[in-house]
Amino acid sequence: QLQLVESGGGLVQPGGSLRLSCAASKFTFDSYAIGWFRQAPGKEREGVSCINSAGSSLNYADSVKGRFTISRDNAKNTVYLQMNSLQPEDTAIYFCAARYSTCSALYARYDKWGQGTQVTVSS
């Protein structure tokens, strides 16, 4: 039913910015919390950010607080992750994932996943 597609990744220099998008296929998008996770070489999958269905609760990993901003536009069935002041440590494949209503830091609690988009930060 629900399908998620990430876009917006690419190559950027340290200190640069990217905006990732997570687009959903169904009109019930506004019932879902959307989380962003990332997987980097040599590291476990980690939660990056999440926004609940109402847009009233925003969550960020300590490593990205003050640099990343999550938002949603339910009219467009899209969640965005604005990434500023990017560093090489941010290099990873970024996935968006959906679960009903509320955020969770545990990736196992998310039901649907996108295919991922590569973010590379390099000088």
Note whether 107 and 47 are within 8 A (CB).
yes
Tokens of 73: 């536009």
Q: What is the Cα–Cα distance from 70 to 48, expressed in whole angstroms?
A: 10
pLDDT in tens, 49-74: 999 999 999 999 999 999 999 999 98
pLDDT in tens, 95-114: 999 999 999 999 999 999 99
pLDDT at 27: 66
pLDDT in tens, 2-49: 899 999 999 999 999 999 999 998 768 889 999 999 999 889 999 999
Q: What is the Cα–Cα distance from 33 to 40, expressed in whole angstroms?
A: 23
